[in-house]
Structure 1
Protein backbone atom coordinates (compact mmCIF):
# COMPACT_ATOMS: atom_id res chain seq x y z
CA UNK A 1 0.00 0.00 0.00
CA UNK A 2 1.39 3.46 -0.90
CA UNK A 3 2.12 6.08 1.74
CA UNK A 4 -0.45 8.88 1.92
CA UNK A 5 1.65 11.16 4.15
CA UNK A 6 2.52 14.67 2.93
CA UNK A 7 6.11 14.08 4.06
CA UNK A 8 8.12 11.40 2.25
CA UNK A 9 9.79 8.84 4.52
CA UNK A 10 13.29 10.02 3.61
CA UNK A 11 12.49 13.61 4.73
CA UNK A 12 11.23 12.30 8.07
CA UNK A 13 14.36 10.14 8.41
CA UNK A 14 16.68 13.06 7.58
CA UNK A 15 14.85 15.31 10.06
CA UNK A 16 15.05 12.66 12.78
CA UNK A 17 18.78 12.11 12.19
CA UNK A 18 19.42 15.87 12.29
CA UNK A 19 17.53 16.22 15.58
CA UNK A 20 19.41 13.28 17.11
CA UNK A 21 22.78 14.68 16.07
CA UNK A 22 21.93 18.07 17.60
CA UNK A 23 20.80 16.40 20.83
CA UNK A 24 23.94 14.26 20.96
CA UNK A 25 26.11 17.34 20.45
CA UNK A 26 24.35 19.24 23.24
CA UNK A 27 24.63 16.45 25.82
CA UNK A 28 28.43 16.65 26.31
CA UNK A 29 28.26 20.44 26.56
CA UNK A 30 25.67 20.21 29.33
CA UNK A 31 27.52 17.40 31.09
CA UNK A 32 30.73 19.45 31.17
CA UNK A 33 29.38 22.73 32.54
CA UNK A 34 31.88 24.25 34.92
CA UNK A 35 35.08 26.28 34.84
CA UNK A 36 37.47 25.65 31.95
CA UNK A 37 41.14 26.58 32.25
CA UNK A 38 44.03 25.95 29.88
CA UNK A 39 47.24 24.42 31.18
CA UNK A 40 49.67 27.06 32.56
CA UNK A 41 47.09 29.84 32.19
CA UNK A 42 45.17 31.84 34.76
CA UNK A 43 41.49 32.73 34.92
CA UNK A 44 39.92 35.43 37.10
CA UNK A 45 36.76 34.43 38.99
CA UNK A 46 34.59 37.14 40.56
CA UNK A 47 32.51 36.04 43.55
CA UNK A 48 29.01 37.23 44.41
CA UNK A 49 30.01 37.90 48.04
CA UNK A 50 33.21 37.80 50.14
CA UNK A 51 34.85 34.40 50.60
CA UNK A 52 36.12 32.97 53.87
CA UNK A 53 37.19 29.42 52.89
CA UNK A 54 38.50 28.12 49.55
CA UNK A 55 39.09 24.42 48.89
CA UNK A 56 40.45 22.95 45.65
CA UNK A 57 39.93 19.19 45.38
CA UNK A 58 43.29 18.43 43.73
CA UNK A 59 45.80 21.31 43.83
CA UNK A 60 48.03 19.45 41.34
CA UNK A 61 45.34 20.02 38.69
CA UNK A 62 44.28 23.59 39.58
CA UNK A 63 45.40 26.19 42.08
CA UNK A 64 43.45 29.11 43.56
CA UNK A 65 45.04 32.38 44.65
CA UNK A 66 43.11 35.04 46.54
CA UNK A 67 43.34 38.48 44.97
CA UNK A 68 40.83 40.06 47.37
CA UNK A 69 37.69 38.94 49.26
CA UNK A 70 35.63 38.67 46.05
CA UNK A 71 38.29 37.84 43.43
CA UNK A 72 40.07 34.52 42.88
CA UNK A 73 42.71 33.65 40.30
CA UNK A 74 42.57 30.01 39.16
CA UNK A 75 45.63 28.51 37.45
CA UNK A 76 45.76 25.27 35.46
CA UNK A 77 48.60 23.16 36.91
CA UNK A 78 47.94 19.68 35.50
CA UNK A 79 45.57 17.96 33.09
CA UNK A 80 42.29 16.64 34.39
CA UNK A 81 39.19 17.47 36.36
CA UNK A 82 38.91 18.64 39.96
CA UNK A 83 36.52 20.86 41.87
CA UNK A 84 36.52 24.10 43.82
CA UNK A 85 34.35 24.96 46.81
CA UNK A 86 34.19 28.53 48.11
CA UNK A 87 32.36 29.26 51.37
CA UNK A 88 31.37 32.57 52.94
CA UNK A 89 31.87 33.57 56.59
CA UNK A 90 28.70 31.69 57.62
CA UNK A 91 29.81 28.50 55.84
CA UNK A 92 27.28 28.88 53.02
CA UNK A 93 28.59 27.88 49.56
CA UNK A 94 29.31 30.67 47.09
CA UNK A 95 30.87 28.42 44.43
CA UNK A 96 30.78 24.63 44.06
CA UNK A 97 31.98 23.85 40.53
CA UNK A 98 34.02 21.38 38.51
CA UNK A 99 37.29 22.69 37.05
CA UNK A 100 38.44 21.25 33.70
CA UNK A 101 42.11 21.79 32.82
CA UNK A 102 43.08 21.03 29.23
CA UNK A 103 46.04 21.47 26.90
CA UNK A 104 46.19 24.45 24.55
CA UNK A 105 45.26 22.83 21.23
CA UNK A 106 45.27 25.87 19.00
CA UNK A 107 48.57 26.93 17.49
CA UNK A 108 50.32 23.77 18.64
CA UNK A 109 51.44 20.57 16.96
CA UNK A 110 52.39 17.21 18.45
CA UNK A 111 55.01 15.11 16.67
CA UNK A 112 55.12 11.39 17.49
CA UNK A 113 58.39 9.50 16.88
CA UNK A 114 57.90 5.97 18.16
CA UNK A 115 57.74 6.36 21.96
CA UNK A 116 58.80 10.03 21.94
CA UNK A 117 56.26 12.86 21.78
CA UNK A 118 57.30 16.42 21.03
CA UNK A 119 54.96 19.41 21.37
CA UNK A 120 55.66 22.45 19.21
CA UNK A 121 54.18 25.89 19.75
CA UNK A 122 53.41 27.48 16.38
CA UNK A 123 53.05 31.24 16.87
CA UNK A 124 53.73 31.69 13.90
CA UNK A 125 56.86 29.51 13.59
CA UNK A 126 56.89 26.07 15.21
CA UNK A 127 59.35 25.83 18.11
CA UNK A 128 59.67 23.52 21.11
CA UNK A 129 57.32 24.72 23.81
CA UNK A 130 57.90 24.96 27.55
CA UNK A 131 56.71 21.82 29.34
CA UNK A 132 55.54 21.66 32.92
CA UNK A 133 56.01 18.48 34.95
CA UNK A 134 52.39 17.51 34.20
CA UNK A 135 52.95 17.89 30.45
CA UNK A 136 56.16 15.85 30.55
CA UNK A 137 54.37 13.10 32.47
CA UNK A 138 51.42 13.16 30.06
CA UNK A 139 53.66 12.92 27.00
CA UNK A 140 55.72 10.08 28.49
CA UNK A 141 52.51 8.18 29.27
CA UNK A 142 51.24 8.75 25.71
CA UNK A 143 54.52 7.42 24.32
CA UNK A 144 54.46 4.37 26.60
CA UNK A 145 50.90 3.47 25.59
CA UNK A 146 51.71 3.35 21.87
Structure 2
Protein backbone atom coordinates (compact mmCIF):
# COMPACT_ATOMS: atom_id res chain seq x y z
CA UNK A 1 0.00 0.00 0.00
CA UNK A 2 1.28 3.47 -0.89
CA UNK A 3 0.10 6.61 0.90
CA UNK A 4 1.12 10.20 0.44
CA UNK A 5 -0.65 13.42 1.41
CA UNK A 6 -1.79 15.61 -1.47
CA UNK A 7 -1.53 19.39 -1.60
CA UNK A 8 -4.62 19.68 0.61
CA UNK A 9 -3.17 17.41 3.30
CA UNK A 10 -5.49 14.52 2.44
CA UNK A 11 -4.29 11.01 1.70
CA UNK A 12 -5.57 8.44 -0.75
CA UNK A 13 -4.01 5.02 -1.15
CA UNK A 14 -3.84 2.62 -4.04
CA UNK A 15 -3.07 -1.04 -3.39
CA UNK A 16 -1.09 -2.80 -6.08
CA UNK A 17 0.80 -0.38 -8.26
CA UNK A 18 2.43 2.31 -6.17
CA UNK A 19 0.62 5.39 -7.43
CA UNK A 20 -0.63 8.51 -5.78
CA UNK A 21 -4.21 9.62 -6.33
CA UNK A 22 -5.34 13.12 -5.48
CA UNK A 23 -8.41 13.76 -3.39
CA UNK A 24 -9.59 17.33 -3.20
CA UNK A 25 -11.29 18.93 -0.24
CA UNK A 26 -15.04 19.52 -0.22
CA UNK A 27 -16.27 22.05 -2.73
CA UNK A 28 -13.33 21.57 -5.10
CA UNK A 29 -13.44 19.81 -8.45
CA UNK A 30 -11.54 16.55 -8.38
CA UNK A 31 -8.77 15.85 -10.86
CA UNK A 32 -9.45 12.86 -13.14
CA UNK A 33 -6.94 10.15 -12.21
CA UNK A 34 -6.00 7.18 -14.41
CA UNK A 35 -6.74 3.69 -13.07
CA UNK A 36 -5.98 0.49 -14.99
CA UNK A 37 -7.84 -2.66 -13.92
CA UNK A 38 -7.45 -6.07 -15.51
CA UNK A 39 -10.65 -7.86 -16.59
CA UNK A 40 -11.94 -10.23 -13.90
CA UNK A 41 -9.67 -8.63 -11.29
CA UNK A 42 -10.03 -5.95 -8.59
CA UNK A 43 -8.07 -2.85 -7.56
CA UNK A 44 -8.46 -1.33 -4.09
CA UNK A 45 -8.62 2.43 -3.53
CA UNK A 46 -8.40 3.70 0.06
CA UNK A 47 -9.93 7.13 0.65
CA UNK A 48 -9.27 9.56 3.52
CA UNK A 49 -12.92 9.26 4.58
CA UNK A 50 -16.05 7.28 3.84
CA UNK A 51 -17.64 8.04 0.48
CA UNK A 52 -21.32 8.91 0.29
CA UNK A 53 -21.90 7.88 -3.33
CA UNK A 54 -19.81 6.04 -5.92
CA UNK A 55 -21.02 6.36 -9.52
CA UNK A 56 -19.70 4.15 -12.34
CA UNK A 57 -20.19 5.58 -15.83
CA UNK A 58 -20.62 2.20 -17.56
CA UNK A 59 -21.48 -0.56 -15.06
CA UNK A 60 -21.16 -3.25 -17.73
CA UNK A 61 -17.45 -2.39 -18.07
CA UNK A 62 -16.48 -1.93 -14.40
CA UNK A 63 -18.18 -2.08 -11.03
CA UNK A 64 -17.39 -0.73 -7.58
CA UNK A 65 -18.01 -2.03 -4.08
CA UNK A 66 -17.65 0.19 -1.00
CA UNK A 67 -16.49 -1.06 2.40
CA UNK A 68 -15.88 1.80 4.82
CA UNK A 69 -13.28 4.09 3.29
CA UNK A 70 -12.22 1.53 0.67
CA UNK A 71 -13.57 1.29 -2.87
CA UNK A 72 -13.01 -1.99 -4.72
CA UNK A 73 -13.04 -1.48 -8.50
CA UNK A 74 -13.84 -4.66 -10.45
CA UNK A 75 -12.89 -4.97 -14.13
CA UNK A 76 -15.59 -6.60 -16.26
CA UNK A 77 -15.36 -5.79 -20.00
CA UNK A 78 -12.48 -4.27 -21.94
CA UNK A 79 -12.66 -0.53 -22.55
CA UNK A 80 -12.70 2.79 -20.72
CA UNK A 81 -15.27 4.28 -18.35
CA UNK A 82 -15.18 6.63 -15.37
CA UNK A 83 -15.89 6.52 -11.65
CA UNK A 84 -16.89 9.56 -9.59
CA UNK A 85 -16.75 9.43 -5.79
CA UNK A 86 -18.79 11.90 -3.73
CA UNK A 87 -18.54 12.49 0.02
CA UNK A 88 -21.53 12.27 2.36
CA UNK A 89 -22.39 15.93 1.62
CA UNK A 90 -22.46 15.31 -2.15
CA UNK A 91 -19.14 17.01 -2.90
CA UNK A 92 -16.79 15.32 -5.33
CA UNK A 93 -13.91 13.57 -3.51
CA UNK A 94 -12.25 11.86 -6.45
CA UNK A 95 -12.74 11.02 -10.11
CA UNK A 96 -11.09 8.22 -12.07
CA UNK A 97 -10.82 7.29 -15.71
CA UNK A 98 -10.89 3.51 -15.53
CA UNK A 99 -9.38 1.42 -18.32
CA UNK A 100 -10.21 -2.28 -18.22
CA UNK A 101 -7.63 -4.41 -20.02
CA UNK A 102 -7.07 -8.08 -20.81
CA UNK A 103 -4.78 -9.67 -18.21
CA UNK A 104 -1.42 -9.85 -19.98
CA UNK A 105 0.53 -12.06 -17.62
CA UNK A 106 0.11 -15.76 -18.44
CA UNK A 107 -2.65 -14.99 -20.98
CA UNK A 108 -2.52 -16.17 -24.56
CA UNK A 109 -4.94 -15.74 -27.47
CA UNK A 110 -4.85 -18.08 -30.46
CA UNK A 111 -6.48 -16.92 -33.69
CA UNK A 112 -7.71 -19.63 -36.06
CA UNK A 113 -9.84 -18.98 -39.12
CA UNK A 114 -10.88 -15.55 -37.89
CA UNK A 115 -11.92 -16.87 -34.46
CA UNK A 116 -10.21 -16.13 -31.15
CA UNK A 117 -9.51 -18.71 -28.45
CA UNK A 118 -8.16 -17.60 -25.05
CA UNK A 119 -5.89 -19.57 -22.73
CA UNK A 120 -4.29 -19.02 -19.33
CA UNK A 121 -0.82 -20.55 -19.06
CA UNK A 122 0.78 -21.06 -15.63
CA UNK A 123 2.80 -23.08 -16.80
CA UNK A 124 0.35 -25.45 -18.57
CA UNK A 125 -2.28 -23.79 -20.76
CA UNK A 126 -6.00 -24.13 -19.98
CA UNK A 127 -8.95 -22.74 -21.94
CA UNK A 128 -10.61 -19.64 -20.58
CA UNK A 129 -13.35 -17.47 -22.02
CA UNK A 130 -13.08 -13.78 -22.86
CA UNK A 131 -15.36 -11.43 -24.75
CA UNK A 132 -14.73 -11.89 -28.48
CA UNK A 133 -13.83 -15.59 -28.27
CA UNK A 134 -15.52 -18.24 -30.43
CA UNK A 135 -18.44 -19.15 -28.15
CA UNK A 136 -19.28 -22.59 -29.60
CA UNK A 137 -15.89 -23.96 -28.53
CA UNK A 138 -16.60 -23.15 -24.88
CA UNK A 139 -20.16 -24.54 -24.61
CA UNK A 140 -19.04 -27.88 -23.12
CA UNK A 141 -16.49 -26.32 -20.77
CA UNK A 142 -19.04 -23.74 -19.60
CA UNK A 143 -21.58 -26.47 -18.78
CA UNK A 144 -18.95 -28.50 -16.90
CA UNK A 145 -17.89 -25.42 -14.90
CA UNK A 146 -21.54 -24.68 -14.05
CA UNK A 147 -22.01 -28.24 -12.76
CA UNK A 148 -18.79 -28.05 -10.71
CA UNK A 149 -19.95 -24.78 -9.09
CA UNK A 150 -23.34 -26.34 -8.31
CA UNK A 151 -21.64 -29.31 -6.63
CA UNK A 152 -19.39 -26.99 -4.62
CA UNK A 153 -22.32 -24.88 -3.42
CA UNK A 154 -24.57 -27.85 -2.64
CA UNK A 155 -27.04 -26.99 -5.40
CA UNK A 156 -26.39 -30.01 -7.65
CA UNK A 157 -29.59 -31.68 -8.78
CA UNK A 158 -31.77 -28.73 -7.77
CA UNK A 159 -33.99 -27.33 -10.45
CA UNK A 160 -34.15 -23.59 -10.91
CA UNK A 161 -37.40 -22.11 -9.67
CA UNK A 162 -39.30 -19.84 -12.05
CA UNK A 163 -39.04 -16.16 -11.14
CA UNK A 164 -42.04 -14.08 -10.18
CA UNK A 165 -44.68 -16.49 -9.16
CA UNK A 166 -47.22 -17.21 -6.66
Q: TM-score range by the shorter chain?
A: 0.5 to 0.7
Unmatched segments (≥5 aa) in structure 2? 1-31, 135-166
RCO comparison, higher one (Cα < 8 Å, 6+): 1
CA contact (8 A) 1:49 1:94 kept: no
| Deviation for aligned residue 1:33 | 5.4
1:44-83 alpha-carbon deviations (Å, 9 max, x no partner): 1101222101100000110001112x11111001110000
Q: 1:93, 1:33 → 2: CA distance? A: 13
TM-score (norm 2): 0.58
Unmatched segments (≥5 aa) in structure 1? 1-31, 141-146
| 1:71 aligned partner | 70
CA contact (8 A) 2:33 2:95 kept: no
| 1:87 aligned partner | 86
| Deviation for aligned residue 1:102 | 0.1
Q: 2:41, 2:107 → 1: CA distance? A: 15
1:83-138 alpha-carbon deviations (Å, 9 max, x no partner): 00000122211111100100011212111111221111110011112x2xxx23x3
CA contact (8 A) 1:45 1:72 kept: yes
| 2:127 aligned partner | 128
Mapping of 1:1-146 within 5 angstroms?
A: 34-68=34-68, 70-129=69-128, 131=129, 135-136=130-131, 138-139=132-133
Larger Rg over CA atoms = 1
Describe the SS at the equivalent of 2:55: strand
CA contact (8 A) 1:48 1:94 kept: no
| 2:150 aligned partner | none
| Deviation for aligned residue 1:139 | 3.2
Structural RMSD (CA): 1.6
Runs of 4+ in 1 over 6 A off after TM superposition: none
Q: 2:48, 2:33 → 1: CA distance? A: 19
